[in-house]
């Protein structure tokens, strides 16, 4: 799944569910459902992915990571308000859960509520200063809202922590092009 071999991941997780006994290890079964849902989502099987997210949530209703993954799914399929509700319910339990903070921020960005989303991403970075999801979220937010100086600062911060992170390098190149720095744009892609 992490190497983006989604078809293989799907097959492995399906086989795992056949082997696992739901009653013996509910948590392992639930996490396998979530991982299968992630593979299905990446392959475009959104309805089926939703069923596996629901199954995982029913097996482990208090697991915040499972709830956060389900919230991201809801956001991706255009159910932003439901996703926000999920993230808010997580934050009511643990106000420092950075996956929920960033998930909430991503929905706010989709709603073009850039200022509120920036506050959320910054809150995540206060809790977990090197959290790449929050760094990339702020980079995207600043680029989308044409706040190029802030985008450049966040890209530089990210590259200081993750110097080989291709998404940051690509965004640096794009930003340098927008700012007319052709040499910087070329350097970022090398």
Number of neighbouring beta carbons within 10 Å of residue 90:
22
Secondary element (H or E) of residue 75: helix 64-76
pLDDT of residue 164: 87
Question: What is the secondary structure of 102-161 as a DSSP string?
Answer: HHHHHHHHHTT-HHHHHHHHHHHHHHSTT-HHHHHHHHHHHHHTT-HHHHHHHHHHHHHH
Confidence (pTM): 0.84
Mean per-residue pLDDT pooled into runs of 10, the chain (190 residues): 89 92 83 94 94 93 93 94 96 96 96 95 97 95 92 94 90 89 79
Hey, what are 164's tokens?
Answer: 């080989």
Query: What is the spatial distance between Cα 38 and Cα 107, in angstroms, rounded to a whole number?
Result: 18
Query: What is the spatial distance between Cα 61 and Cα 54, in angstroms, rounded to a whole number?
Result: 10
Number of residues assigned to the chain? 190
Query: What is the spatial distance between Cα 38 and Cα 56, in angstroms, rounded to a whole number?
Result: 12
pLDDT tens for each residue of 16-25? 998 887 777 8
Query: What is the spatial distance between Cα 73 and Cα 36, in angstroms, rounded to a whole number?
Result: 13
């Amino acid at each position: 799944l992490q190497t983006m071999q989604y078809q293989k991941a799907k097959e492995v997780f399906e086989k795992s569910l056949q082997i696992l006994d739901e009653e013996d290890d509910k948590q392992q079964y639930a996490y396998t459902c979530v991982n299968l849902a992630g593979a299905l989502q990446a392959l475009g099987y959104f309805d089926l992915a939703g069923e596996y997210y629901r199954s995982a949530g029913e097996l482990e209703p208090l697991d915040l990571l499972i709830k956060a993954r389900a919230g991201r799914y809801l956001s991706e399929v255009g159910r932003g308000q439901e996703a926000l509700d999920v993230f808010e319910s997580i934050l009511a339990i643990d106000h420092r859960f950075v996956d929920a903070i960033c998930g909430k921020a991503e929905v706010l960005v989709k709603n073009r509520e850039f200022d509120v989303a920036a506050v959320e991403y910054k809150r995540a970075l206060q809790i977990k200063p090197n959290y790449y999801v929050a760094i990339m979220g702020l980079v995207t937010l600043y680029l989308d809202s044409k706040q190029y100086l802030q985008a450049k600062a966040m890209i530089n911060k990210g590259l200081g922590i993750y110097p080989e992170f291709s998404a940051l390098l690509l965004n640096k190149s794009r930003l340098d092009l927008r700012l007319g720095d052709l040499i910087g744009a070329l350097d970022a892609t090398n």
